[in-house]
Amino acid sequence: MTTIHPVILCGGSGTRLWPVSSAALPKPFLPLVSDETLFEQAVRRVAQDDRFAPPMVVAGAAHADMIIQQLHDAPGARLVIEPGAKNTAPAIALAAALLPADAVMLVCPSDHHIADAAAFRAAAFAAAELARDDYLVSFGIAPDRPETGYGYLQRGEALAQGFAIRRFVEKPELARAQEYLASGEYSWNGGIFAFRAGHLLAELAAHRPDMARLVAQAVAGGRNDGARFYPAPAPFAAIAGESIDYAVMENTARAAMVPAAMGWSDIGSWAALADALTDGADAAGNVTRGAADLDGCSGVLAITDSLRISAVGLTDVCIIVSGGEVLVTTREGAQRVGKLPGATNQ
């Protein structure tokens, strides 16, 4: 049985969930879908099974104390403090360099929602088997709509525990997304990965030698402080930030995927959150948090931390009152919330 080493990434600013999320309190650390925060859920998903080692969390210094608090009692957990935000490839490489070379790591974003934790774990165990055989494994999320906001994976030949990846596809136009959905060959690239640590570093050295060298220097020059590890800032600052997809996954000959149907959402906008909350919706599909009176509304998400919301006649609108701001957006418009003056001038 392969032990899985969870690596939980806490980057990302989440401005599309403004005004609730902010630079100081970004999306992972908010109780968006339940009473637990998305980070707490991410930790708990890999905490209830002894096939998982204690988690390693990679985050910025600004959120370290919040992470310690939200880890609660997680013996053996480690925290890697990134000296700067460099996208996912350097963060994952830091973790890989701090693990034994033969450790199988499971890279999990901390700001996603997964409704079916058992399905997640089953996919993780399948991915771990592939990773042990030196595949670089991505979770392929079963799509349920022609989403244009995600990248896609096309399945190739069948492997013992999954499939080879034939190709990676950037966020498509709607017509293309509809073709992908109809074909049954495509999955969403959910940003969840399994690697053998040493293999990931070898592939990084092959495809991004500068990054691999600078990460190694940052780790070699870093220091431990209790459960925290501080990489050396100078070499880390010299890294050209890049996603793990660009840096490694799209270049390797060993890309594989495991299918995962687990009620996944990246909670990438208020519309996505509304979708994730449909279990708590009324008969007309409305979801409220805090004081809200709705009359003749359907598909409305109304969340307030203070003033009462009264809404009449609205369809598919999100109303958010938080932190002294009032946001009202259509579901379609929700993707543009991060560009609002309020979200960009925090």
Which residue ranges make up the site for a copy of itself (CB under 8 A)? 19, 293, 295-296, 304, 307-314, 317, 319, 321, 324-330, 332-334, 336-337, 339-343
Q: Which is nearer to a copy of itself, 134 or 325 (CB)?
A: 325
Give min distance, CB of 172 to a copy of itself, in A.
22
Tell me which amino acid residue 89 is. Answer: A
Q: Name the residue with tokens 């609108």.
A: 317
Which of 13, 26, 22 shows the shortest CA–CA distance to 342? 22
- Map residue 146 onto helix, strand or coil: coil
- Map residue 176 onto helix, strand or coil: helix
The values of phi and psi at residue 321, to 5°, are -115, 115
Which of 24, 34, 17 shows the shortest CA–CA distance to 65? 24
Q: Name the residue with tokens 């030949």.
A: 157
d(CA 38, CA 267): 10
Give min distance, CB of 330 to a copy of itself, in A.
4
CA 209 to chain centre: 26
Q: Which is nearer to a copy of itself, 224 or 306 (CB)?
A: 306
Give min distance, CB of 40 to a copy of itself, in A.
29
Q: Which is nearer to a copy of itself, 44 or 336 (CB)?
A: 336
Half-sphere exposure of residue 187: CA atoms within 13 angstroms, side-chain side: 25
Give min distance, CB of 277 to a copy of itself, in A.
18
Q: Which is nearer to a copy of itself, 241 or 285 (CB)?
A: 285
Q: Which is nearer to a copy of itself, 61 or 307 (CB)?
A: 307
Give min distance, CB of 145 to a copy of itself, in A.
19
Distance set, CA 118 to CA 38, 106, 111, 138, 222 (Å): 17, 15, 18, 18, 36
Q: Which is nearer to a copy of itself, 281 or 328 (CB)?
A: 328
Taking each helix axis as running N to C, give the angle between helix 197-207 and helix 209-220, from 0 to 180 degrees, rounded to the nearest 10. Answer: 130
Give min distance, CB of 269 to a copy of itself, in A.
10
Give min distance, CB of 23 to a copy of itself, in A.
17
Q: Which is nearer to a copy of itself, 260 or 321 (CB)?
A: 321
Cross-strand bridge partners of residue 138: 193, 257
